[in-house]
Amino acid sequence: MFEIEFRDVGKSFIDKQTGQWRAAVSNVSLSIRKGEVVSLIGPSGCGKSTLLNMGSGLYLPTSGEVYVAGKLVTKPVREVAFMLQKDLLMQWRTIQDNVALGLEIAGVPRGERIQVANELLDKCHLKGFEKHYPHQLSGGMRQRAALARTLAVEPQVMLLDEPFSALDAQTKMVLQQDLAQTLYEKNRTALFITHDLVEAIALSDRLLVMSERPGTIIEEIIIDLPLRENPLERRKLPEIGPLQGRLMDLLKIGKEEHAELH
């Protein structure tokens, strides 16, 4: 059984200017096994985020079906957690209480959820900042807190929508390392969106390349490389360059355009 599965999924929206229906994604089928990390690569506007929204139950497909742990998705799914580019931390809550928010909503007693939050903050290198507020933290620290919040609810599937794209290169690589080690150690399943081709290769077991809108999957690339749990080391492998070149060819990216993605 797959942890998450899209079966011939399509999604259309009404164009507010023309009143016409426009397809965002069309005939998308993909499946992810437990513990697998899969990245979606494609041009802006091809429907990658739309797929993640359907995977979480925030959108329902116009056609096709989405399953999580073998169950048809008809509404938001507790087994799925989202991590976005923006940390969306609540400014009036401490970092500790932000991380514990999902557990609070689930009715977990305060003592237990605070223990979980503190353990995750320690793991995410935020020990000592439990009582700080979001405005007192740097962008990288806030995103670490967002990662801890995502992990706190013990999701079966993590959906990650460009979570590191707003960070500087050094901070981004540190957080990639934190995420990769956590996914590996906890055997978590993840569907990841990024425009950074090397990031996708460094973090993933497979890459799914999407076409222009309406997006559909045009290529699957198996990343048959070691060190998925250690993207800092995987980046150094000689196979990275040819894989990056293959992706650039599929996406028809020139060297100048590719530089703008980083």
| Integer-rounded Cα radius of gyration of the chain | 18
Q: Which of 169, 190, 168, 170 is nearest to 179 (CA)?
A: 190
**Per-residue pLDDT tens over the stretch 67-116:** 999 999 999 888 899 888 788 899 999 999 999 998 888 888 999 999 99
In one-letter notation, the amino acid at residue 201 is I
Tell me the C-alpha to C-alpha distance, in Å, between residue 147 and each of 9, 38, 57, 155, 179. Answer: 28, 18, 20, 12, 8
**Per-residue pLDDT tens over the stretch 223-237:** 999 999 999 999 999
Tell me the C-alpha to C-alpha distance, in Å, between residue 11 and each of 38, 56, 196. Answer: 21, 14, 25
**Per-residue pLDDT tens over the stretch 179-205:** 899 899 889 999 999 989 999 999 999
pLDDT at 254: 52
The third-level CATH classification (topology) of the domain covering 1-15+22-49+58-79+156-262 is Rossmann fold (3.40.50)
Percent of the chain with pLDDT strictly greater than 90: 62
Q: How far apart are CA 33 and CA 136, in angstroms?
A: 39
Mean model confidence pLDDT for the chain: 89
Retrieve residue 98's tokens. Answer: 């932000």
Whether the predicted model's global pTM rises above the 0.75 cut: yes
What are the backbone dihedrals phi and psi of residue 220, each rounded to the nearest 5 degrees, phi first? Answer: -115, 130
Q: How far apart are CA 239 and CA 244, in angstroms?
A: 9
Q: Which of 142, 152, 75 is nearest to 119 (CA)?
A: 152
**Per-residue pLDDT tens over the stretch 239-253:** 999 999 999 999 886
